[in-house]
Structure 1
Amino acid sequence: MPEVPPAESSSEQQPENTQRKRTLENTDDYTAKKKQRCWGILTSQGSWADRSPLHEAACQGRLLALRTLLSQGYNANIPTIDHVTPLHEACLSDHASCAKALIAAGANVNATTIDGVTPLFNACSAGSATCTEVLLENGAKPQSEMCQPSPIHEASSKDKSTECVLNESILVTQGVLCVGRIACLEALITWGADVDYDIPHLGTPLYIACISSGLQCTQKLLDGGANVQKGRFLESPLHAAAQKDSPEIINVLLEFGANINAKNLELKRPVESAPPNSSAEETLLLYEATPQPLYQLCRLSVRDYMGRSRLHLIPQLHLPNLLKRFLQYR
């Protein structure tokens, strides 16, 4: 077996104490441990134990070591027991150069673990826009298969720990992660991911963004043509924003035509789902009491008539640029 080359000085090299550690909980512990993602990479002791030197090099961002191992005959697609490949590791750790080297050596960009996790999902989970672009440019499927973890849902979810962390350095790290996920979401939409992809137990990406209080993700999805009414079952994105007391998101949803009279399974309207005396309740009550301007009603009618599949044709309409930008919410 070839020896692992020593770590080299590299901008991608990570200190040993910052290496990502896998958890060993089984699926029954998933909810109990309050994991931050709707989907996760669940690995067994065996999967951790049978990691190859190539997995370690990819995980740690040791590009020279990785290239040396590949030149010595290591298979770029070598899997663990749980079918985790080195490319999975590189993308989860945001090492784009290692991902490129693996792909150049024949790594499968659509490889799936036993849990259905792809390298693209890992890239979105890590908020790695660079890895996301690299994967998509090399044939990664932007849309997940049915019953598999969804990259666009993962990119649409904002890490909830940003709402409660007190340590400044952690807050900065989480902020960078959030920005990275927004960039991943934008890339997925550009490459054709379905913005209305509905997973029964999760809902649509827009619902995930609203329930996660992700204003920018909400805006990106709506700009990409997401249906403002589609959430999870009868629970609309507006219900989710109201429950989370997010007046900024509520205003964006209403601007895109969200129905304030939609009822969920409990027959509650969004205003009835908002916390009493909250900003969300105040925003919705004010909207109900204020007649909508004609220009807003016209914009919604035009966009509804065109349909999501033709919204990209708005710039080609024979209209003044000011009106085109208005129709595009710009």
Structure 2
Amino acid sequence: MFHRRVNMTEATENPFAALHYSNVYLTILALFGFKLFIKISLNCLSYFYIVRGNRKEAARISAEFYDFGQGHRSWADRSPLHYAACQGRLLVLRNLILKGHNVNVLTIDHVSPLHEACFGNHVACVRALVSAGANVNVTAIDGVTPLLNACSVGSVSCAEVLLENGAKPQAPVFQPSPLHEASRKGSWRCVEALVRAGADVDFDIPNLGTPLYTACVSQEIECARSLLGAGANVQKGKYMDSPLHAAAEKDNMAIVKLLLDFGADVNTRNMEFQRPIEATPPSSLTEGFLLVYEATPRLLSQLCRQVIRDRVGRDRFHLMKTLPLPTRLRNYLQYM
């Protein structure tokens, strides 16, 4: 305490120390004032461009200085079609189309009116835009398609309209995947629509893994059930992590049971050389269940079903419902 009093006294008596502290405060105040001046100047410049009708330049300024790549926040370059599609105003949208507005007009970040309609789950607007020639596979600057937007909000109606009109059910590698997005958000009806349209249920994205793994990480059991019913590989996950590892780590016993019914291997090991039981939280219900499961022989009916389904092949699963078999036996083969 005595040493600190001496220092304070010296700082008070020393005019150079006082000057040093005042310079620091002045510097901070000057920086704050400069940043405020820049912000006001940019706002005035954006307003000037909007008033003069140059919305694209206003959007560019807004995106460059305010968005920092965090999404499509600026509405300065949205067209009237974008507004109508986003708000689901079908009559306005149709009138704009009749007046000759381009349905494929893009913003500075390549967002189309169809993107907006799908994200808002406005299926009537989606139909109107598609009928007028909107590109169903248009891709925004971040790789997002209208189909991905539909899957993101769980709009199976919009997804089906897009798929019926030529939308690609599967994105290229390193682009956002509609099937992964639907699996992550729990949109199991969208998952089934995508699979019917030809999406690969085992499509592996390096940083996400397979759709089944994504569903297990997100704890979306209905999506996991739909993917497994469509023939997804129960062992294929992310790198060496299996879907069972993901479900066990989340302590989701319902998904663990589902995966085991479809033949998941309890002895598979991940990159850390752990089995699924070793990935469970200690003393959890899932850990106890797996301990009992490992000590219990598998049912013969379960083993037979796996062999039959393997022989039928994933490409012919959809034909099992047409087999001349008793309903109970067909349901057994289809996990119903």
| Shorter-chain TM band | 0.7 to 0.9
Query: Following the alignment from structure 1 to structure 2, what is the Cα–Cα distance between the partners of residues 195 and 120?
Result: 17
Given the alignment of the two structures, is residue 254 of structure 1 paired with residue 263 of structure 2, yes or no?
no
Match of 1:94 in 2: 121
Runs of 5+ consecutive residues of structure 1 not aligned to the other structure: 1-23, 30-41, 159-177
RMSD: 1.5
Query: Following the alignment from structure 1 to structure 2, what is the Cα–Cα distance between the partners of residues 319 and 156?
Result: 32
The Cα of 1:116 is off from its aligned counterpart by 1.3
Match of 1:154 in 2: 181
Q: Given residue 43 of structure 1, which amino acid in structure 2 is its aligned partner?
A: H
The Cα of 1:69 is off from its aligned counterpart by 1.0
Runs of 5+ consecutive residues of structure 2 not aligned to the other structure: 1-65
Match of 2:80 in 1: 53
Match of 1:129 in 2: 156
Q: Given residue 261 of structure 1, which amino acid in structure 2 is its aligned partner?
A: N
Match of 2:270 in 1: 264
Query: Following the alignment from structure 1 to structure 2, what is the Cα–Cα distance between the partners of residues 317 and 101?
Result: 40
Match of 2:289 in 1: 283
Q: Compare the two structures and name the one with the higher helix fraction.
A: 2
Higher relative contact order (CA 8 A, sep 6+): 1
- The structure with the largest alpha-carbon Rg is 2
The Cα of 1:300 is off from its aligned counterpart by 1.1
1:63 aligns with one of 85, 90, 109: 90
* Comparing 298-307 and 189-198, the one that deviates more: 298-307
Given the alignment of the two structures, is residue 324 of structure 1 paired with residue 330 of structure 2, yes or no?
yes
2:280 aligns with one of 259, 274, 279: 274
Deviations 1:253-303 (A, max 9, x none): 000000100100000000000000112111211110111111111111121
Given the alignment of the two structures, is residue 216 of structure 1 paired with residue 190 of structure 2, yes or no?
no
Given the alignment of the two structures, is residue 196 of structure 1 paired with residue 225 of structure 2, yes or no?
no
Normalising by the residue count of structure 1, what TM-score does the alignment of the two structures yield?
Answer: 0.79
Query: Following the alignment from structure 1 to structure 2, what is the Cα–Cα distance between the partners of residues 251 and 272?
Result: 16
Q: Given residue 293 of structure 1, which amino acid in structure 2 is its aligned partner?
A: L
The Cα of 1:305 is off from its aligned counterpart by 2.5
Given the alignment of the two structures, is residue 237 of structure 1 paired with residue 222 of structure 2, yes or no?
no
Match of 2:101 in 1: 74
Match of 1:120 in 2: 147
Match of 1:225 in 2: 231
Query: Following the alignment from structure 1 to structure 2, what is the Cα–Cα distance between the partners of residues 57 and 272?
Result: 53
Query: Following the alignment from structure 1 to structure 2, what is the Cα–Cα distance between the partners of residues 44 and 145?
Result: 26
1:140 aligns with one of 151, 167, 173: 167
Secondary structure at 2:160 match in 1: helix
Normalising by the residue count of structure 2, what TM-score does the alignment of the two structures yield?
Answer: 0.78
The Cα of 1:212 is off from its aligned counterpart by 0.4
Query: Following the alignment from structure 1 to structure 2, what is the Cα–Cα distance between the partners of residues 316 and 303?
Result: 15
- Structure 1 residues 242, 322: closer, same or farther in 2, change over 3 A? same
Given the alignment of the two structures, is residue 310 of structure 1 paired with residue 324 of structure 2, yes or no?
no
Q: How does 1:34-49 map to 2 (within 5 A)?
A: 42-43=71-72, 45=74, 48-49=75-76
* Comparing 48-57 and 312-321, the one that deviates more: 312-321
Q: Given residue 203 of structure 2, which amino acid in structure 1 is its aligned partner?
A: Y
Query: Following the alignment from structure 2 to structure 1, what is the Cα–Cα distance between the partners of residues 193 and 207?
Result: 25
